[in-house]
Amino acid sequence: MASRTLGRVTKALLAPALALGTTIALASAPASAAVWNSCDQWGNTSLNGYTLYNNIWGGGAGAQCIWANSGTNWGVNANHPNTGGIKSYPNAKKVVNKSITSLGSLNSSYNVTVPSSGSYNTSYDVWDTDHDYEIMLWVNYNGAVGALGSYQERVTVGGHTWDVYKGRAQRSDGTYWDVFSFLRTSDSTSGSVQILPVLKWIKDTKGWMGNETIGDVQFGFEITSSSGGLDFRANSMSITSS
């Protein structure tokens, strides 16, 4: 697999803004009128307890527009060139702000429509409040994409079987954070994930992190290439915690 680059936490903090110019306006909006849409690089809005981000953060990105009917029904049309490196991570975010041991549950469901071409993954991105740890859960992926770091093992946890990778990513200021990537062993476009058991496996079984406070959970599409313009849709999704 190709190596993966930086994670997706508020990219304005991790990478310089891109000079995308007017090319962003070339991506197409959904055929039907949406509650909200944006072709801005950092376009975002809050709907139904979720924050939606267009989040075009990678170098060499093309055009991308996001639309939403609600916080849990949204999508993007993306036209990124067939070159290496992640271009964007459009996503919906739910704030958690609870420590791992104080969480009673952290669950999610998803139903997506993704293209058969292009290079991308459909993934959860879980961050602690200090952004020292990033936990990625890939439910499907296509093309020239791969996890950061080295392969660790195969594990069944949270309702799925995953191949686990462990690595470190570097910020623009030279500091690092740890990245734990869980790649589902077969592609799925709908289902549910129990995220808390994954966090406890990292903390208790492997000892890779302590009792971190989970800041937020993001769900979206990490897009490397989508030449010609491809549609990515979250038909429905939810992120709940107690």
Q: What does pLDDT average to over the chain?
A: 90
For 153-173, the pLDDT digits (tens) are 999 999 999 999 999 999 989
Count of CB atoms within 10 A of residue 48's CB?
12
Which residue carries 């997506």 as its tokens?
A: 112
The tens digit of pLDDT for each residue in 192-239 reads: 999 999 999 999 999 999 999 999 999 999 999 999 999 999 999 999
- Contact assessment for residue 61 and residue 20, using Cβ atoms and an 8 Å cutoff: yes
User: In which element (H, E) is residue 205 found?
Assistant: none
Structural domains present in the chain? 11-241 (2.60.120.180)
**Distance between CA atoms of residues 38 and 76, nearest Å:** 10
For the cut 80, the answer to whether the pLDDT of residue 25 exceeds it is: no
